[in-house]
Amino acid sequence: KQEVTQIPAALSVPEGENLVLNCSFTDSAIYNLQWFRQDPGKGLTSLLLIQSSQREQTSGRLNASLDKSSGRSTLYIAASQPGDSATYLCAGIYGQNFVFGPGTRLSVLP
């Protein structure tokens, strides 16, 4: 069974810190992996898509890596800001099937 887990479930950091969010998947036959952000009461917003041929992807202060052999992806956020406070979800992509983790709820304190 394809499962995705995320650790930690919640994280609180002071503004300016660099932080890492973790995503683990049980089926290494993953094709792509996508990271999302979800603000309270909103839908999911795509942050980064890592294709199977890539090992990492960067957008601004965000960097995501994918290691299929170890079944892990990490999302690195540099110089965190209060506006980064949200829930971050990862999804393993198997063909046309997206398997979501439960998310990490991030709070960045001013």
Contact residues for other proteins (CB under 8 A)? 4, 31-32, 34, 36, 41-46, 49, 51, 89, 91, 93-98, 100-103
Residue 26: CB minimum distance to other proteins, A:
14
For residue 83, which phi and psi values (nearest 5 degrees)? Answer: -70, -10
Given the complex with other proteins, which of 19 and 44 has the nearer CB atom? 44
Q: Are 99 and 4 in contact (CB under 8 A)?
A: yes
Q: How far is the CB of 95 from other proteins (least distance, A)?
A: 6
Q: Give me the least distance between CB of 54 and other proteins, in Å please.
A: 12
Of residues 42 and 61, the one with the C-beta less far from other proteins: 42
Cβ of residue 20: shortest distance to other proteins, in angstroms?
Answer: 19
Nearer to other proteins, 15 or 31 (CB): 31
Query: Of 19, 46, 6, which is closest to residue 107 (Cα–Cα)?
Result: 19
Taken as a whole, the chain contains a residue count of 110
CA dihedral defined by 91, 95, 97, 100, rounded to 10 degrees? -10
Distance CA(72)–CA(44), nearest Å, equals 21
Which residue type sits at 34?
A: Q
